[in-house]
Amino acid sequence: MGTLHHLMGTFKTLGTFKFFKMHLRVPFLLLALMEFCICVAAVFVAVYVRFDGSQITEVSSIRSPFATSMLFGLVMPVTMMAMGLYQSRFRGGILGVFLRSVIGFACGAAILALLYYLIPHLYLGRGVFGLAILIAFFVVGTIRPMFFYYVDKDILKIRVLVLGAGEKAASISRRLRRRVDRRGFRVVGYVKLNTDAMVVVDSASVLDLEGSSLLDFAIANNVDEIVVAADERRSGLPLEELLECKLHGLDVIDLLSFFEREQGKLPLDILRPDWLIYSDGFQRGAVRDVSKRIFDFIASAFILAITWPFMLFAVIAIKIEDGMDAPVLYRQTRVGFLGEPFEVLKFRSMSVNAESGGVAQWATKNDSRVTRVGNFMRKTRIDELPQILNVLSGDMSFVGPRPERPHFVEQLSETIPYYRERHAVKPGITGWAQVCYPYGASMKDSVQKQEFDLYYIKNHTIFLDMLILCQTAEVVLFGKGAR
């Protein structure tokens, strides 16, 4: 039992770790690894069942069983990740998980069929292939409910002690209300500071240390992390006690870093300029710029090779609906890198004279200006595909904050803090805000999107770009935020 308790404690302290600036949750990485192993084993089990228990190398046409099964094991988790099935804050419920699992396995099967055809050395027979998919789907569908049952248990969560009981401390429960928002941590309680003007958190969760030191209380209550959420930081913080906790091995982080890790965004209402200046991130350099440009070119070429038939159909549909003389592309001035204007290209989804008055307008739900073909293109994001040309020309990146019109930039810069900082990177076709938040068509939506965009600007790496590009598939297939 002592060994088990030690292992669980080790597991909790590794609840998240940073990989290329991204906070990855260990339980979901373990789930991906487990499902990878299941998919690899499914190939061998399928051969065993298909050929009545005979040795795989004797009766199967598989030339490289290990490489074939490894490819099967790699592709399936990637397509499931593209469906959002490894997101810790997924809120789709049982039906949503099942639907995304079906689509993920179907997409994975299509990709594998193509790869097995293009690489004959890895060929997998149709009977074994189909059986392996069924076995993997059934086993994965069986373990996932058990995984989510245990991942929601407090025993697997980091135990957090919040230093402060005022307005900032109360923002934790306000921002992280749902169970899925708290999968990585459990708040042990709040410690009131002398500088707290008033107690805003639930009084029942305010702790009385009863004369013991912060470290003694943390040890006695198995605290793994202390979050500093003081309303007033200039005085009143028990710095010596916090240092003692730090030296003892407890993690001590501020509230902004806590939200950055748990939400994947930077809350504007408590964001401080000094935190942005001294925190790690916002890095640029020749290597980063070159690798980003290479990624943009490869991603654009890959997406163009896949989507050109849809683009052709879009051109034909626009011409059929609006006439042969109607323009197919729509050019609109947007604000790009370092605030420089450029013309973004889109398939025209609105009527020709949508803004005849010359005044820029927010798109609204069921907008009457949107054509029937345009409505379908917007829901499927086909109208955005011509922006691949903007990426190839260097005006945009494939991944980055969405570019806005100059009129809206002026409006939003006056009301949203740090809004112009979004122009520190090239705008993108898709971005972190697009995969994390629905379509933004109001001032409130723009504030939420800005919090995600600032996170991306601070932490952007090729790894994060690849993750966003992969998860964009879920946004397109399920029409998240389409308008």
Task: Convert the pLDDT of each residue in 11-20 to its tens digit.
Answer: 454 567 777 7
State the alpha helices, DSSP H only, in 119-166: 126-151
The confidence score (pLDDT) of residue 38 equals: 96
| Domain endpoint, select from 103, 129, 151 | 151
In terms of residue numbers, what domain contains 194?
Answer: 157-263
453 exposed, middle or buried (CB, 10 Å; 0-12, 13-18, 19+)?
buried
Residue 289's pLDDT band (cuts 50, 70, 90): confident
Task: From 151, 170, 195, give the residue that closes a domain.
Answer: 151
How confident is the model over 191-201, as a mean pLDDT? 88
pLDDT of residue 50: 81
Task: Tell me, yes or no, whether 359 lies in a domain.
Answer: no
Q: When comparing pLDDT for 160 and 154, which is higher?
A: 160
CA-only gyration radius of the chain, Å:
26
**The pair of three-digit structure tokens given for residue 270, joined into one six-digit string:** 């408590």
**Domain co-membership, 434 together with 346:** yes
Q: Answer yes or no: do 341 and 473 share one domain.
A: yes
Instruction: Examine the domain organization and report whether 142 and 70 are in the same domain.
Output: yes
Find where tokens 């992390």 sit. 225
Nearest to 477 by CA among 433, 435, 448, 445: 435
The answer on 171 and 147 residing in a single domain is no
> What is the tally of structural domains in the chain?
3
For residue 233, pLDDT beyond 80: no
**N-to-C CA span, the chain:** 55
Please tell me the predicted confidence (pLDDT) of residue 21: 77
Q: Tell me how far apart the alpha carbons of residues 22 and 482 are, in angstroms, rounded to a whole number.
A: 27
In a domain, 32, yes or no: yes
DSSP state of 279: S
Q: What is the pLDDT of residues 313-370, one digit of tens each?
A: 999 999 998 888 888 998 999 999 999 999 999 998 887 765 555 555 655 566 667 8
- pLDDT tens per residue, range 63-77: 778 889 999 999 999
Residue 200 lies in a domain: yes
Residue 2 pLDDT: 44
Q: Is there a single domain that holds both residue 317 and residue 382?
A: yes
Asked if the structure places residue 197 within a domain, the reply is yes
Do residues 194 and 60 both lie within one domain?
no
Domain assignment present for residue 280? The answer is no
Tracing tokens 């051109």 back to the chain, one arrives at 315
The answer to whether residue 172 sits within a structural domain is yes
Nearest to 245 by CA among 191, 176, 323, 317: 191
147 and 161 both lie in a single domain: no
Does 61 share its domain with 111? yes
Average pLDDT over residues 268-295: 86
In this predicted structure, what is the pLDDT of residue 190?
95
d(CA 115, CA 118): 5
What was the pLDDT predicted at 287? 85
- On whether both 254 and 292 belong to a single domain, the answer is no
- Quick one: pLDDT at residue 441? 63
Q: Across 177-250, where does the E strand assignment appear?
A: 185-191, 206-207, 225-228
Could you tell me if 138 and 43 lie in one domain?
Answer: yes
The answer on pLDDT for 124 being more than 90 is no
Q: Which amino acid is at 222?
A: N
168/146 same-domain check? no
pLDDT score, position 11: 47
In a domain, 421, yes or no: yes
Question: Does the residue 281 lie in any domain?
Answer: no
Query: What does the mean pLDDT of the chain come to?
Result: 85
What are the pLDDT digits (tens) for 386-443? 999 999 999 999 999 999 999 989 988 999 999 999 999 999 999 999 888 866 567 7
Task: Count CB neighbours of 32 within 10 A.
Answer: 17
Confidence of residue 26 (pLDDT cuts 50, 70, 90): confident
Shared domain for 242 and 303, answered yes or no, is: no
